[in-house]
Structures are given as structure tokens and as C-alpha cells.
Amino acid sequence: MAGNTPSEEQISMVRLATTNVARKTSEAIRMAYQLSGMDGAYIDHPLSFCMRNAFMLTQYAFMGEVTYQNADHLKYISKL
């Protein structure tokens, strides 16, 4: 982009990519959390901290399910 204003499609693709990263990261952390047993459930355990942060990120407005819908909608509109 080299200093140019990004297009709507570029913005949408960046949002889609970051949403995907947030979702996949939270899923990986959830798996590790389940494998850790009770130790990971303690509030002072580092994995507990990671899990809370990762899952909070998936609830952020630009990381929700609507991001997938908006990206698909924008691709459809751009083909018209």
C-alpha cells in the first residue's frame, strides 16, 4: 500500500485475517487448557491468563462472527 489509503476490500481482508488468527489462537489455547488439567484452571496460572485474554479478543467487535459475514458480503458486492 506504500502510504496510500487502503481500499474497502483491503480493510475487509485485514479484518478477516485478524479474526481468523484470533479464532485459531483461542482454539489452540483452549486445547492446551484442557490438556493442562486442574493446574490451568487456577487464576494465577499463566495458561489461565492466556485463555482469558484469547477468548476476550474473540468477543471484540471487529473479531466476531459478523466479520465473516461482512467479508463475504463485500466480495459479493465487488463482483456485481
- Contact indicator for 24, 65 with CB cutoff of 8 Å: no
In this structure, is residue 55 part of a structural domain? Answer: yes
In this structure, is residue 37 part of a structural domain? Answer: yes
In this structure, is residue 57 part of a structural domain? Answer: yes
From the number of C-beta atoms within 10 Å of its C-beta (0-12, 13-18, 19+), residue 22 rates as buried
pLDDT tens, per residue, the chain with 80 residues: 578 898 888 888 888 888 888 889 889 999 998 899 888 888 889 988 888 888 887 777 666 677 767 766 655 555 54
In this structure, is residue 11 part of a structural domain? Answer: no
In this structure, is residue 74 part of a structural domain? Answer: yes
Domain that holds residue 41: 18-78
pTM of the model: 0.68
Give the integer Cα–Cα distance in Å for 1 and 18.
18
Give how many domains the chain has, as a whole number: 1
Cell of 19: 479474526
